[in-house]
Structure 1
Amino acid sequence: MAGFTRSVLIACTVLTATALTVTVGAYVHAGAAPVPVVSAASGSSAVPASSAVSATVLPPVNATFDYQIGAAYPPPSGVRVVSRDRQDPIAANLYNICYVNAFQVQPDEVDWWQSQHDDLLLRDSDGDYVVDGDWNEILLDISTSAKRAAIAGIVQSWFDGCARAGYQAIEPDNIDSYERSKGLLGIDDAVAYLELLAPHAHDMGLAIGQKNTTDLGTRGRSAGLDFAIAEECGRYHECDYFTGVYGDNVIVIEYTDTAFTKACSAVGDEVSVVRRDVGVTAPGSGTYRYGSC
């Protein structure tokens, strides 16, 4: 899961994607390796580039949303948009956003990254991995164009899997990893990396959102991001930033009753706002919380 630095989700213009065929599929772990399922027919996980992908469609504005990145479950009645982890199946008949930890390493994928791409993991001057302590996630090293390209190739294959599984958008998390990088990464690195990810998402017929990261200003939009998913913008008085950049195409997630009430009052008439528990758990967990306005 990703660190909860503040943000809001917004979707603006409908973009058009180019050539590629999307087939239904899913992701699996092979010894915790984040690899796409290989099609028996094609012998490859790549999506054929001969026919057209459907046009990119943004999340419906101010639609009831559910945030299920911690666990997938049947959405509450009235939900029209859901965000789920890339390894979970989509929710039928809803608009589905595919959560991808694009800037840090999920704890259950560390072994795969270390064995296959250890050179793409960020290390400090002592040679130690740079870790997001809140979530125990090693940062990906996006400090050079060569490393950004290599990492993007891996993450883009995850986007392909999202498209095959039927998702309509991407939620790339931890854009602000540079804030936890001990000064080894900067915002320019993040923007340059997004400029590799966004066009590929569009080529696959997927919208792609800005996750948190108010520091981007309008640079995320300029890099090709279509909407925003923001955590705790009500709590930190940041919702106006997201609507200023993405209009009403914003999804807001709050983790306290007070912040939820504040966000509903401030922007609830224009954008999607939900109350979730910090662990984004499923019903029956004991900590599960959900509300919408």
Structure 2
Amino acid sequence: MHSLRRRPYRTLGAALAAVALLVGAAQINSSRASAGAEAPSAAPPPAHAGFDYQIGGAYEPPDGVRIVTRDHTDRPADGLYNICYVNAFQAQPGAEDSWDPDLLLRNEAGEVVYDEDWHEAFLDLRTADKRRRVAAKVGRWIDSCASQGYDAVEPDNYDSYDRSGKLLTATQAQQYIRLLSEQAHRRGLAIGQKNTPQLAGEREANGLDFAVAEECGEYEECDAYTRAFGDRVVVIEYRSAGLRKACDGWGDRLSIVRRDLGVTTPGDEAYVRQTC
């Protein structure tokens, strides 16, 4: 499908911040475990609520916003429903060395296979052992999301199998995301299906609680999500025409925002944020 997710290249400072967050998460986890605390039940985002998509950098949420998505290296917003973004099916650009070499998808020639649009190496989900190992690493990010106080997690690139030159399959993607769902739910987080409307009908079997749909107005796919998730759908559009179609069809039911393609922060000349 057409995934337009925009994640800026992570600088060294952001990487160090991520390490600090993981250390803090481990300390909080240890404290909670010693206290015998139990994770709260997962709840999906509120329906038809003000929404902002801040994966390009955190900033003060605009008035009326009740739901915010931020990268897992950023802190959640106080007093709002917070969704934690993780790149779960592909390696961030330049981050291949942070993965065991055998967990990067390779072709018959032994070459790492990349998502050509984003220059991100696909993660190898072709065996149960590799799915388990990838899920263990991503699971630590999910743990960090929970420890920081996020309410939900958004694992990106669920549809990477569709761009892998048939090296990966939809079945493997679903087997893997079930592992992430189990981890999220153990930590009291809801988990969202990112894009991939062709698998929305399997949401219950895959343990998915809500949907994050990029450009479902633009491509007339919002109904594929609402059939499976009801009103538990948050929508990001990147063009004025897409926002108009999403608002005309679903503005009284879904949480909808238009952002700029770079998902920039206020003050950047490219910054765009519009709602219905």
- TM-score surpassing 0.5? yes
Q: Is the 8 A contact 2:203 2:228 kept in 1?
A: no
In 1, Cα distance between the equivalents of 2:157 and 2:251?
A: 25
> How many Å apart are 1:31 and its aligned residue?
10
- For residue 226 of structure 2, the aligned residue among 234, 243, 246 is 243
- Please give the per-residue CA displacement for 1:180-221, whole angstroms capped at 9, x wherever unaligned: 111110000000001111011011000000000012141133
Q: Confirm whether residue 69 of structure 1 aligns to residue 55 of structure 2.
A: yes
In 2, Cα distance between the equivalents of 1:247 and 1:189?
A: 26
- For residue 93 of structure 2, the aligned residue among 89, 100, 107 is 107
- For residue 207 of structure 1, the aligned residue among 178, 190, 196 is 190
User: Counterpart of 2:8?
Assistant: none
In 1, Cα distance between the equivalents of 2:154 and 2:165?
A: 25
User: Counterpart of 1:23?
Assistant: none
- Please give the per-residue CA displacement for 1:78-127, whole angstroms capped at 9, x wherever unaligned: 111000000001111111000010000111422322xxx11101011111
Q: Which has the higher contact order (CA 8 A, sep 6+)?
A: 1
In 1, Cα distance between the equivalents of 2:20 and 2:116?
A: 22
Map 1:184-195 → 2, pairs under 5 A: 184-195=167-178
In 2, Cα distance between the equivalents of 1:241 and 1:40?
A: 38
Please list every run of 5 or more consecutive structure 1 residues that lacks an aligned counterpart in the other structure.
6-27
Q: Is the 8 A contact 2:21 2:73 kept in 1?
A: no
In percent, how many aligned pairs have the same letter? Answer: 49
Q: 1:35 to 1:148 in 2, by over 3 A?
A: farther
User: Counterpart of 2:4?
Assistant: 4
SS in 1 for 2:90: coil
In 2, Cα distance between the equivalents of 1:211 and 1:169?
A: 12
Cα RMSD, aligned residues only: 2.4
User: Counterpart of 2:181?
Assistant: 198
Structure with the higher fraction of residues in helix conformation: 2
Map 1:1-293 → 2, pairs under 5 A: 3-4=3-4, 29-30=15-16, 36-37=22-23, 48=33, 50-113=36-99, 117-293=100-276
Q: 1:147 to 1:40 in 2, by over 3 A?
A: closer
Paired AA for residue 33 in structure 2: P
Q: Is the 8 A contact 1:227 1:249 kept in 2?
A: yes
